[in-house]
Amino acid sequence: MASIELKDISFCYPGSATPVIEALDLEVERGEAHALLGASGSGKTTLLSLLSGLLRPTGGAIVFDGNEVTDLSPRERHVAQVFQFPVLYERMSVIENITFAIREQSAQIDARVQHIVEALGLGKISALRPGQLSLYQKQICAVAKALANPEVSLILLDEPLTSVEPAAKARLREVLTAAQNEFATTMIYVTHDQTEALTFAQRVSVITEQGILQTAPPDEIYNQPAHEYVGYFVGSPGMNFVTREGERVGFRPEWCHLHATSGIAVEVTTCRFEGTRAGRAHGLVELSSASGPLFYRGPIDAVKTGTQTRLGIDRGLRYRDARMVGVL
């Protein structure tokens, strides 16, 4: 049973003629970690505000666990949110922050809070105030606050790693994944960072101004992009596209080989070393071709910049009107 359902949602800011979100459908399973991946301006933060109830959709319905919540306030929806930067009440201690939104009191809830505090390693700092904590600790505290409330059935994460220093990003990501595994709370994670989306989520939705282009598990998003944009946006660099017999053919940089007997005529522009695999130098090679720059990733021991060669496609996907129609 789906925990979260968005049915034909549209939203338009008051006074604006063009809708930010139009006829959007999304289903998230109970206990699922779901990522909304999109570039800035794709409407993903607006979608988050619609889910939390800070904004009301101009059309469509939002259903949580079978109950329509479209017109309910944020409080009545029993959601929690972790923001881009840690949002905590500064005059309260860590433990007061964590328990602030909990309305009932019972021994069970106390035990739950205690368990979360221990699990997230906040035991030693629970009496401190946010002003004395690092950004990483504050954000962990915000995560604990979201997890602690037993009423909460959905946690929204709005690019929660943005403000944390790079070294702590991986740690925070592990804490989030571990917490998700343990508590199995439904989480919707909004990000523009594909690594965060692909590593955190069980399913990823790629969102643009046109709506959600594809919802699929991370490997499917990477290996079978349903839309040209998905292929281009996910991966670094993204998918290569060439036109062949009236169709667009997309292939990842690692789905092709150089020095082919037949294939696309290319010239090696740059070659970047990325490491050694099985004794052979691997890297990323930028090629110029009649259809623009292309990328190849793989063994580079026989690659020289400035040389002409042919690029053979091992695996390609066919696209018509930007939609995938089959395998090459």
Residues that bind other proteins (CB under 8 A): 49, 52-54, 73-75, 79-81, 83-85, 87, 89-92, 100-101, 103, 129, 131-132
Check residue 300 and report its DSSP letter.
Answer: -
Residue 9: how many CB atoms within 10 A of its CB?
23
CA-based nearest residue to 10, from 52, 54, 62: 62
Q: Give the DSSP H/E element, type plus range, for residue 208.
A: strand 203-208
Contact 133, 125 (CB under 8 A): yes
Structure tokens that stand for 254 in this block: 């690692």
Nearer CB in complex with other proteins: 152/212: 152
Nearer CB in complex with other proteins: 101/328: 101
Task: Name residues whose C-beta falls within 8 Å of residue 193's C-beta, 6 or more positions apart in sequence.
Answer: 159, 161
Check residue 247 and report its DSSP letter.
Answer: E
Q: How far is CA 83 from the centre of its chain?
A: 15
Tell me how far, at minimum, the Cβ of 46 lies from other proteins, in Å.
13
Nearer CB in complex with other proteins: 12/87: 87
DSSP SS3 for 266: strand
Tell me how far, at minimum, the Cβ of 178 lies from other proteins, in Å.
23
Tell me how far, at minimum, the Cβ of 5 lies from other proteins, in Å.
20
Tell me how far, at minimum, the Cβ of 128 lies from other proteins, in Å.
9
Nearer CB in complex with other proteins: 87/328: 87
Nearer CB in complex with other proteins: 24/98: 98
Cα 184 to Cα 33, 37, 266: the distances in Å are 8, 21, 49
Give the C-alpha separation, 81 to 119, whole Å: 19
Give the C-alpha separation, 78 to 70, whole Å: 13
Q: Which amino acid is at 22?
A: E
Tell me how far, at minimum, the Cβ of 20 lies from other proteins, in Å.
17
Nearer CB in complex with other proteins: 140/287: 140
Give the C-alpha separation, 252 to 91, whole Å: 51
DSSP for 246-300, written as a single string: TEEEEE-GGGEEES-SSSEEEEEEEEEEEEEETTEEEEEEEEEETTEEEEEEEE-
Nearer CB in complex with other proteins: 132/181: 132
Tell me how far, at minimum, the Cβ of 52 lies from other proteins, in Å.
6
Task: Name residues whose C-beta falls within 8 Å of residue 112's C-beta, 6 or more positions apart in sequence.
Answer: 148, 150
Nearer CB in complex with other proteins: 67/262: 67
Tell me how far, at minimum, the Cβ of 224 lies from other proteins, in Å.
36
Nearer CB in complex with other proteins: 132/305: 132
Tell me how far, at minimum, the Cβ of 83 lies from other proteins, in Å.
5
Give the C-alpha separation, 251 to 243, whole Å: 12
Tell me how far, at minimum, the Cβ of 130 lies from other proteins, in Å.
10
Residue 13: how many CB atoms within 10 A of its CB?
12
CA-based nearest residue to 138, from 84, 101, 179, 186: 84
